[in-house]
Amino acid sequence: MTSKRFEKIAVIGGAGYVGAVLVPRLLDEGYEVVVLDLFIYGEEPLAAVRSHPRLTVIKGDIRDQGVVRQAVHGCEAVIHLACISNDPSVELDPALSQSVNFDSFGPCVKIAKAAGVRRFIFASSGSVYGVSDSPQVTEDHPLVPVSLYNKYKAACEPVLFAEQSPSFTTVAVRPATICGYSPRQRLDLTVNILTNHAVNNGKITVFGGSQMRPNLHMQDMVDLYLLLLEVPDEKIAGQVFNAGYQNYSVADTAEVIREVVRDELPDRGEIEIVTTPSDDIRSYRINSDKIRRVLDFAPRHTIEDGARDLIRAFKAGKLPDSMTDIRYSNIKMMKAIQLK
């Protein structure tokens, strides 16, 4: 096992859609991992690694500063993934969302810094740019959040960078919309929604269609977090990086998904694409040249790969009741549990 810059990593929100893939990978790479999560989607996302000798799991709320101190104690790096994720879930209870997505963040960063954590990686969002018709939305593009989710993600970035110091390296990633399989599956994200409906409904409904969306495969997202743990401080200190790959319209994405399903499941027959109006105005393309230039990071997986991952999971019975189970939808789950 090669020596690592850090040995012990805290993943805050480690049982979520990305965390459930990232945490096993960190363990495979030889890291000691502490997960802090509320586990509102159940214990299953980390079931495969739950007994791993290098994994510590803390069930708790990131708003509880005592629990955060416990989680980061002895850790050298933090990957902060925790939030109420996506626009409708945030709008459901704005006060709750502010307390989780923003108010808890500054104290978390300060607690990590005081505990001797040397690197803090924050999952911001590519959606902070809001609506833009610019063909090249770089990190310098104005942030025009059109929802509370975007607003809180954008507001966390300066809070993080205010703590940047020679002994505390801070970096924010603005990921595109993630696609692909996870043990904590989300089927409320563009590629995943369309694939689920194509496979299990025989029909894809496109709301609007002209909106542009940047995409990034789950495995590339995880690869990037691993890279951010190992690159030299000076390459990332106080920096923001877009992380996206393919910028597609929703309508074009539907066509791509249809072709993949035709190829993988020829017995399904013709899959209809139905277009209906939408009031979802979010539309943006992100440019990821900076992360390629500075960190030599280039995604290797496509949205076709994401769709194929999901089709394999459907075939293997890993995603039962995919059209009805509320666990696959953040907004439906948040309504059901009524978190306070």
CATH at residue 134: 3.40.50.720
Identify the pLDDT of residue 69.
98
**305 belongs to a structural domain:** yes
Average pLDDT, stretch 311-335?
Answer: 96
What percent of the chain shows pLDDT beyond 90? 90
What string of DSSP letters covers 278-334?
Answer: --------B--HHHHHHH-------HHHHHHHHHHHHHTT-STTTTT-GGG-HHHHH
Identify the pLDDT of residue 133.
84
Domain residues for 280?
A: 8-337
What percent of the chain shows pLDDT beyond 70? 99
Query: In this predicted model, what pLDDT tens digit does every residue of 65-99 receive, in sequence order?
Result: 999 999 999 999 999 999 999 888 989 999 999 99
Identify the pLDDT of residue 170.
98
Question: For residue 262, what is the DSSP state?
Answer: H
Question: For residue 53, what is the DSSP state?
Answer: T
Q: What share of the chain is helix, strand, coil (3-state, %, to 5)?
A: 45, 20, 40
Average pLDDT, stretch 204-212?
Answer: 92
pLDDT of 1 > 60? The answer is: no
Identify the pLDDT of residue 253.
97
* Confidence grade of residue 340 (pLDDT, cut at 50, 70, 90): confident
User: Which tokens is 307 given?
Assistant: 């769709």
CB 51 within 8 A of CB 93: no
In the 3-class helix/strand/coil scheme, how is 79-116 assigned residue by residue? Answer: EECCCCCCHHHHHHCHHHHHHHHHHCHHHHHHHHHHCC
**258 belongs to a structural domain:** yes
**3 belongs to a structural domain:** no
Average pLDDT, stretch 234-260?
Answer: 97
Identify the pLDDT of residue 229.
98
Average pLDDT, stretch 7-35?
Answer: 98
Identify the pLDDT of residue 14.
98
Provide the number of structural domains found in the chain: 1
User: Which tokens is 144 given?
Assistant: 């025009």
pLDDT of 36 > 90? The answer is: yes
Please, what is the average pLDDT of the chain? Answer: 95
**1 belongs to a structural domain:** no
Identify the pLDDT of residue 241.
98
Between CA 56 and CA 74 the distance in angstroms is 12
Query: In this predicted model, what pLDDT tens digit does every residue of 173-194 receive, in sequence order?
Result: 999 999 999 999 999 999 999 9
User: Which tokens is 272 given?
Assistant: 């209809």
Question: Which of 109-123, 124-138, 176-190 has the lowest average pLDDT?
Answer: 124-138
How large is the greatest C-alpha to C-alpha distance in the chain, in angstroms?
59
Query: In this predicted model, what pLDDT tens digit does every residue of 280-309 receive, in sequence order?
Result: 777 788 999 999 999 999 999 999 999 999
**116 belongs to a structural domain:** yes
Alpha-carbon distance values, 152 to 111, 168, 195 (Å): 20, 22, 29
**235 belongs to a structural domain:** yes
Taking alpha carbons only, the member of 240, 61, 90, 109 closest to residue 152 is 90
Identify the pLDDT of residue 2.
58
Average pLDDT, stretch 219-229?
Answer: 98
**2 belongs to a structural domain:** no
**101 belongs to a structural domain:** yes
